[in-house]
Amino acid sequence: MKAFIKKEFFHIFRDYRSMVILFGMPLVMVLLFGFAITNDITNVRIAILDNSKDVVTNQITQKLISSGYFILEDNIESQNDIEKIFTEGRVKEVVVFEADFARKLKTEGKAHVQLILDASDPNTANIISSYTTGVISSYSLELMSQTSMIPVKINIESRMYYNPELKSVYMFVPGIITILLMLVSTMMTSISITREKEMGTMEALLVSPLKPIQIIIGKVMPYTLLSFINLIVILLLARFVFMMPVAGNLVLLIVESLLFILMSLALGILISTISKTQQQAMLLSMFALMLPTILLSGFIFPVENMPILLQYLSHIMPSKWFIIIVKNIMLKGTGILYFWKETLIILAMTLFFIGMSVKKFKIRLE
């Protein structure tokens, strides 16, 4: 058994491809998601159509520009200019204030702002709209406290969601932890077992007195350790590169992660029992697991917005539950009371996969 684990480490450390996947991936992914594929926006060019030109609209405009997110490209004078300025591609957003803005706000307690967005890039449009909305809302709060008048309401016509405090890297880190643990554990184990089949060494292992469970544990141990190291690396990166604190209990986070690692490993073994070649194992892990993990787990797209069928599908994604747990611990700082159900689900999945793979592990060829 010890020899088996030692051998497995030799395989990993001597194959530069596995080394790249094991240790390059976490770094690249965290940095990539953190810096490049960021949802944060800066220096978005906007235009203002101010039909009121009073103190309030002026102040809002100043707020927008001084926020750092927006650059005022142009002040336009009529509705007709909107289309023109969009087709020229000069701005991403036009902010329209209705006439008599300040007066309406004072007398009626509400006024309208219209945000018109260049939605050719819907994601960016979404984000820009939320940022604008954020700035205007904070202004209206300010206004209320300053004047202590009856609640004022600035109506913003926008279908977009509002999520101002959440920096994108905070959203990505739980997702990346999930993807990486899954990738390393599931893909690497399934590949390393199928490699033995492909190289013909499985024949030799099978004719040896080794029990299936010994082979499985021998395979799994090194990857558990490496996944764990990976987890620590990502947490350190999040903490010291992106200044993202862990709000909740770090030990709890690590324990939950170990459970998830165990589940992924069991899944990897299961995949290896049904695939004959390394390539098959890799494709299965990639397409059957990675893509759904990214797309259906709520990592990028909120599960609530999916069609019902996909929502149901997302329930069987172990990653979905784990992301909920990680978000709870890292962002909300809640304890086990808030996600014991999710933990149980993952535990059940783990037991299921272990049972299946021990059962399906073949003591013979074919």
Q: Which residues contact 158 (CB under 8 A, 6 or more apart)?
A: 115, 129, 132, 133
CB of 343 to another protein, least distance (A): 36
Q: Check binding of 207 to another protein (CB under 8 A).
A: yes
Give the range of 24-32, 206-214, 237-245, 321-329 binding another protein by CB under 8 A. 206-214
Count the Cβ atoms, other than its own, within 10 Å of residue 78.
Answer: 9
Q: Check binding of 361 to another protein (CB under 8 A).
A: no
159 vs 364, beta carbon nearer another protein: 364
**β partners of residue 50:** 97
155 vs 279, beta carbon nearer another protein: 279
2 vs 159, beta carbon nearer another protein: 2
CB of 199 to another protein, least distance (A): 7
Distance CA 348, CA 340 (A): 12
Q: Check binding of 201 to another protein (CB under 8 A).
A: yes
Residue 308 is encoded by which pair of tokens?
């019902």
Q: Check binding of 205 to another protein (CB under 8 A).
A: yes
CB of 214 to another protein, least distance (A): 9
Q: Check binding of 17 to another protein (CB under 8 A).
A: no
295, with CB counted inside 10 A (0-12, 13-18, 19+), is middle
Q: In one letter, which amino acid is 312?
A: Y
231, with CB counted inside 10 A (0-12, 13-18, 19+), is buried
Give the range of 24-32, 59-67, 194-202, 223-231 binding another protein by CB under 8 A. 194-202
Distance CA 178, CA 260 (A): 8
Distance CA 360, CA 269 (A): 9
CB of 242 to another protein, least distance (A): 37
Q: What size, in residues, is the chain?
A: 366
CB of 206 to another protein, least distance (A): 6
Total binding residues toward another protein, as defined by CB under 8 A: 24
**β partners of residue 130:** none
Q: Check binding of 366 to another protein (CB under 8 A).
A: yes
- Contact by Cβ (8 Å): 185, 226: no
Among 32, 119, 199, 351, binds another protein (CB under 8 A): 199
Q: Check binding of 352 to another protein (CB under 8 A).
A: no
Q: Check binding of 309 to another protein (CB under 8 A).
A: no
| CA distances for 134 relative to 51, 69, 130, angstroms | 21, 11, 6
- Contact by Cβ (8 Å): 44, 93: yes
Angle at 202 between CA 357 and CA 265, to 5 degrees: 35
Q: Check binding of 159 to another protein (CB under 8 A).
A: no
143 vs 205, beta carbon nearer another protein: 205
Give the range of 55-63, 89-97, 166-174, 202-210 binding another protein by CB under 8 A. 202-210
65 vs 210, beta carbon nearer another protein: 210
Q: Check binding of 365 to another protein (CB under 8 A).
A: yes
Nearest C-alpha neighbor of 335 from the set 348, 325, 344, 321: 325
Q: Check binding of 206 to another protein (CB under 8 A).
A: yes
Nearest C-alpha neighbor of 105 from the set 140, 146, 65: 140
Contacting positions for another protein (CB under 8 A): 2-4, 7, 10-11, 14-15, 199-210, 363-366
